Chain A
């Protein structure tokens, strides 16, 4: 796979492997079975496998909208991270999803996300979800991410505020 320029996210042949690992880092991504399939600069492609436990409409077998929300949110976040010079955590500010049509029952969903603008504080990302081709889209997403939102927050910050952190130290 020829790339026009080296991706900003690190160097070397194992970049895709590291990005894949990053996708697996979130428990929700693992639970949904989300995968990164390809990267190219600030673009990322991914797959959300069809699973019967993720169906949103038992009559038709169509996958739940929430799965697409999680998938596109995470893939957009990956694209934002890929657009950075140094990897950092991002947090979603907002996410808009337009549903063109229901996903086809029984089929994996693919998506591509592109971070088309990144600043010091905010990254803007668009994504498209489909089965076969982006021209026949299931959904379009537009999102904004805060760059490095946890720079001043400690690990475990959500485990009960200052007291929990103080107790540990």
Chain B
């Protein structure tokens, strides 16, 4: 199991866009946390300043597909069918974390929820729910 974690963390690190964001992964047991350090290029509103909503959405989507791959014991990242992102608080210019919960894995489709937060776990800045297409077995 931990090998799968390591392989997925390595796979995540190989995604150019994950490097562009500066995301890294940490896992405890079968639970994954994605960590997004603050960087100026992630800002959407420079006056507040606040993180770009798309960046927070992207962080949660990456968390959802990686957590789903772990839960599904798959080496491959699932494909996104749809996502709904709810913005709850503006993202301050600090480190952001995200975790995802696989609600249901069907034969082809999985339902996943994710949350992003900053200094307080109980005060999420955004939530995501999505459906993802699982990597189908060949033959």
Hey, which bits of chain A sit against chain B, CB under 8 A?
Answer: 25-31, 52-58, 63-67, 69-74, 89, 91-99, 102, 150, 153, 155-159
Contacts and interface: CB of A to CB of B under 8 A. Distances in A.
A53 B20 contact: yes
Nearest to B41: A31
Contact residue range for chain B? 35 or more
Most A CB within 10 A of own CB, among B49, B57, B62: B57
Contact of B17 (A29, A56, A95, A155): A56
Contact of A64 (B17, B46, B86): B17
Nearest to B90: A158
Given A54-B20, A69-B61, A91-B90, A26 B85 contact: no
Nearest to B43: A27
Contact of B61 (A28, A53, A66): A66
Decide if the interface of chain B is mainly helix, strand, loop or mixed: mixed
Contacts, number: 140
Contact of A73 (B41, B42, B57): B57
Contact of A69 (B19, B83, B92): B83
A84 to B, nearest CB: 17
Given A66-B21, A67-B17, A102 B58 contact: no
Contacts of A156: 47-49
A140 B14 CA distance: 28
Contacts of A72: 54
The listed residue with most A CB atoms (<10 A of its CB), out of B18, B44, B46, is: B44
Given A28-B52, A58-B16, A64 B43 contact: no
A131 B47 CA distance: 33
Contacts of B57: 66, 69-70, 73, 95
B54 A70 contact: yes
Contacts of B58: 64-67, 69-70
A67 B52 CA distance: 11
Nearest to B49: A158
A141 to B, nearest CB: 10
Contacts of B17: 53-56, 63-64, 66-67
A69 B91 CA distance: 16
Contacts of B44: 26-29, 74
Nearest to A72: B54
